[in-house]
């Protein structure tokens, strides 16, 4: 969706500019971009024509109103499109996180089953060792009992028989401790990358792939884990901890990887995207510091507080924006726009107005009054010999700044002549310009 041309930017004026300001900007710009003044610029004619279209629209109140309404609709659609894109991105991130969590839980279940099998195997091995020890003790006792009758008869080969019985008992014990020739289950080399649990390969790449799938995250996690293992083995020329058994090697590998994944999960947005809106307020609203209602694109109506704000400020309504499952609710960012009044202009926290004065009051000075933004009359002391555009600041009559203070009412003096010519003044001005003739 293409954006509308910003006629205000083309003329270099603000959106709340008055008719006189727009006209003055048009005259200034037209002189600088006129094709006769830019004969070497092939695009000068197009820029001049575009500026003419902008002025034709903005100088007509009806056309300007329709243009402003259409532009607001286009901007609202653009904001809505941006919000939808942000929603889709957040939804995809949440889905990826959900899938990674499910994969990690599945791997943890496999680890639990492997540990249970290991505990069962350890218990069986301990039972075999106990039985072997009991058998060896029985054989030794039997040998000793058989040797006693021969001792009285002076039989010379009794030590050999006892030694054979003891050797047999030691052999049985050793065989039981090793799990027998076929009793144990092999799992490859203790630290080898091809160790398996339940017949499934459990190297770093395989474990990361089972959690994240075939993705760059899986390759990065496996590579990082491998480097840490190599660094641990090379530190000071020896491993930092004893080598694991063949059965524990894949369990420790997967446990380390899962701990890493749990400690650094896929990045998720902390909160949902913000909603952006505008609030057009009057100067009286800012003076009264009351909240104003606005309607969002989704039809909701919210109230915007105006404590210590002015033109261009952004008010954030916490946790009132978009809401997604698993994400913190977003905010509403409201930009304050001040409706231009007939007699007053907002300048930060100051309020500016114009005070017309006559020529004699500008020369001699006077005491007069000016209407304040709240409708009351404010006394003003005009100093003698004042010029047009001279400013008089009346403190604490502007907008509240949120810190307990207020801006000022800035009165701009403007020297005005009488509605009808005055002969005495005309003669005086002629005398001052041409001198006295006799």
pLDDT higher than threshold 80 for residue 146: no
pLDDT of residue 437: 54
SS3 (DSSP) at 116: helix
CA 245 – CA 184 distance, rounded (Å): 12
Q: Indicate the pTM of the whole model.
A: 0.42
Q: Is 286 or 328 the better-scoring residue by pLDDT?
A: 286
What would the mean pLDDT of 197-206 be, rounded to a whole number?
50
pLDDT of residue 239: 43
CA 68 – CA 74 distance, rounded (Å): 10
pLDDT higher than threshold 60 for residue 290: yes
| Residue pLDDT, tens place only, 296-327 | 888 889 999 999 999 999 999 998 988 877 77
CATH of 345-434, one of 2.60.40.420, 3.90.700.10, 2.60.260.20, 3.30.1490.20: 2.60.260.20
| Residue pLDDT, tens place only, 79-125 | 888 888 888 887 887 788 788 788 878 888 888 888 888 888 889 89
Q: Which two tokens mark 110? A: 């496999």
Lowest mean pLDDT among 69-73, 158-162, 168-172, 223-227: 158-162
- The secondary structure of the chain in percent helix, strand, coil, rounded to multiples of 5, reads 50, 15, 35
pLDDT of residue 404: 87
Please answer whether residues 378 and 371 qualify as being in contact, where contact means their C-beta atoms are separated by less than 8 angstroms.
yes
Q: At what angle do helices 61-153 and 158-177 cross, to 10 degrees?
A: 170
pLDDT of residue 32: 83
Q: Which two tokens mark 26? A: 């048009």
Closest CA to 193 of 203, 205, 185: 203
pLDDT higher than threshold 70 for residue 249: no
pLDDT higher than threshold 70 for residue 235: no
Q: What is the DSSP letter of 342?
A: S
| Range ranked top by mean pLDDT from 89-98, 221-230, 258-267 | 89-98
Confidence category of residue 155, pLDDT binned at 50, 70, 90: very low
pLDDT of residue 304: 95
Please answer whether residues 430 and 408 qualify as being in contact, where contact means their C-beta atoms are separated by less than 8 angstroms.
no
CA 319 – CA 336 distance, rounded (Å): 19
User: Widest CA span of the chain, in angstroms?
Assistant: 177
Would strands 332-338 and 275-281 be described as parallel, antiparallel, or unpaired?
Answer: parallel
Q: Is 17 or 156 the better-scoring residue by pLDDT?
A: 17
Lowest mean pLDDT among 160-164, 205-209, 226-230, 239-243: 239-243
- Residue 197 CA, chain-centre distance (Å), reads 41
When the pLDDT of each residue in the chain is averaged and rounded to a whole number, the result is: 77
End-to-end CA distance of the chain: 78
pLDDT of residue 252: 54
pLDDT higher than threshold 70 for residue 78: yes
Phi, psi (degrees; rounded to nearest 5) at 172: -65, -40
SS3 (DSSP) at 173: helix
pLDDT higher than threshold 80 for residue 205: no
| Range ranked top by mean pLDDT from 12-16, 34-38, 151-155 | 12-16
SS3 (DSSP) at 289: coil
What percent of the chain shows pLDDT beyond 90?
Answer: 24
pLDDT higher than threshold 60 for residue 196: no
CATH topology assigned to domain 273-339: HSP40/DNAj peptide-binding domain (2.60.260)
Cα-based angle 234, 239, 244 (whole degrees, multiple of 5): 135
Residue with structure tokens 């006792």? 141
Strand partners, 294: 302
Lowest mean pLDDT among 188-192, 278-282, 412-416: 188-192
CA 181 – CA 291 distance, rounded (Å): 85
pLDDT higher than threshold 80 for residue 242: no
Q: At what angle do helices 44-58 and 61-153 cross, to 10 degrees?
A: 100
What percent of the chain shows pLDDT beyond 70?
Answer: 71
Q: Which two tokens mark 95? A: 């889905």
Q: Where are the domains of the chain?
A: 86-263, 273-339, 345-434
pLDDT higher than threshold 50 for residue 156: no
Closest CA to 258 of 203, 201, 208: 208
Residue with structure tokens 């002025």? 55
- Residue 254 CA, chain-centre distance (Å), reads 33
CA 88 – CA 84 distance, rounded (Å): 6
Going from the C-alpha of 112 to that of each of 44, 106, 125, 251, the distances in angstroms are 76, 10, 20, 9
Counted residue by residue, the chain has a size of 438
Same fold, 273-339 and 345-434: yes
pLDDT of residue 189: 44
pLDDT of residue 285: 92
pLDDT higher than threshold 70 for residue 344: yes
CA 125 – CA 179 distance, rounded (Å): 6
């Amino acid at each position: 969706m293409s954006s509308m041309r910003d006629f205000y930017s083309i003329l270099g004026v603000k959106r709340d500019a008055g008719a006189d300001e727009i006209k003055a900007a048009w005259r200034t710009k037209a002189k600088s971009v006129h094709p006769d003044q830019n004969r070497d610029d092939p695009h000068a004619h197009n820029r001049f024509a575009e500026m003419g279209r902008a002025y034709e629209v903005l100088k007509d109140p009806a056309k300007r109103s329709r243009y402003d309404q259409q532009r607001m609709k286009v901007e609202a659609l653009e904001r809505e499109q941006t919000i939808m894109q942000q929603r889709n991105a957040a939804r995809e991130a949440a889905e990826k996180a959900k899938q990674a969590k499910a994969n990690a839980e599945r791997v943890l279940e496999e680890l639990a089953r492997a540990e249970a099998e290991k505990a069962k195997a350890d218990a069986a091995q301990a039972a075999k060792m106990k039985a072997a020890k009991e058998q060896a003790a029985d054989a030794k006792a039997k040998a000793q009992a058989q040797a006693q009758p021969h001792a009285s008869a002076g039989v010379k080969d009794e030590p050999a028989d006892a030694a054979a019985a003891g050797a047999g008992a030691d052999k049985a014990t050793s065989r039981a401790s090793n799990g027998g020739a076929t009793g144990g289950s092999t799992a490859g080399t203790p630290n080898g990358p091809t160790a398996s649990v339940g017949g499934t390969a459990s190297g770093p790449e395989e474990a990361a792939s089972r959690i994240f799938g075939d993705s760059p995250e899986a390759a990065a996690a496996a590579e990082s884990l491998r480097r840490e293992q190599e660094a641990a083995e090379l530190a000071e020329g020896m491993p930092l901890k004893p080598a694991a058994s063949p059965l524990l090697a894949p369990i420790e590998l997967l446990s380390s990887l899962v701990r890493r994944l749990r400690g650094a999960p896929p990045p998720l947005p902390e909160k949902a995207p913000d909603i952006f809106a505008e609030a057009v307020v009057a100067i009286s609203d800012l003076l009264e510091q009351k909240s104003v209602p606005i309607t969002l694109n989704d039809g909701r109506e919210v109230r915007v507080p105006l404590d210590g704000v002015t033109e261009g400020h952004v008010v954030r309504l916490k946790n009132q924006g978009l809401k997604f499952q698993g994400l913190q609710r977003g905010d509403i960012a409201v930009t304050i726009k001040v409706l231009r009044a007939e007699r007053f202009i907002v300048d930060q926290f100051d309020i500016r107005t114009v005070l017309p004065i006559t020529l004699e009051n500008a020369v001699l000075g006077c005491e007069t009054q000016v209407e304040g933004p709240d409708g009351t009359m404010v006394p003003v002391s005009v100093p003698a010999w004042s010029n047009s555009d001279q400013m008089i600041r009346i403190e604490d009559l502007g907008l509240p700044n949120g810190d307990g203070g207020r801006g000022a009412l800035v009165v701009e003096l403007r020297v005005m002549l009488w509605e009808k010519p005055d002969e005495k003044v005309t003669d005086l001005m002629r005398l001052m310009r041409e001198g006295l003739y006799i």
